[in-house]
Amino acid sequence: MKQDYFSANNIKYIDYKDVEILKKFLSPNGKIMSHKRTGVTAKNQRALANAIKHARFLGLLPFVVK
């Protein structure tokens, strides 16, 4: 993913409930991918990390995948 996924798809607000999108930015172990791998802008990467953390808190995404 070279281009920013969120601006390419015209997503202005990254929602923690949209688990299918957030899953794209998780490694096989469930860790958040670095901005180097995601290609997301710094602003969106921060919003993305927050959204993933909110989804984890509510049990929608795992903290770790064994």
Partner 1 sequence: MSEAEVKVENEILEDGNSQVYELGYLLVPSIKEEDLGVNYGNLKELVASFGGEIITDEMPKAINLAYSMQKVTSNVRQKFSTAYFGWTKFIMDTQKVLEMKKHLDLDPNFIRFLILKTVKENTIAVKRFARGETYRRPKTKSSENETVVPINKEEIDKEIEALIAV
Residues of the shown chain interacting with partner 1 in the complex, contacts defined by CB under 8 A? 8-13, 15-18, 21, 54, 56-63
Give me the least distance between CB of 33 and partner 1, in Å please: 18
Report which DSSP code applies to 32.
B
Distances (CA, A) of 62 to 7, 29, 39, 49, 52: 26, 9, 23, 14, 9
Q: Which residues of the chain form beta strands (DSSP E)?
A: none
CB of 3 or CB of 34, closer to partner 1: 3
Which of 27, 57 has the CB closer to partner 1?
Answer: 57
Q: Give the Cα separation of 4 and 41 in Å (integer).
A: 6
| Minimum distance, C-beta of residue 46 to partner 1, in the bound complex (Å) | 15
Q: Cβ 19 to partner 1, closest distance in Å?
A: 9
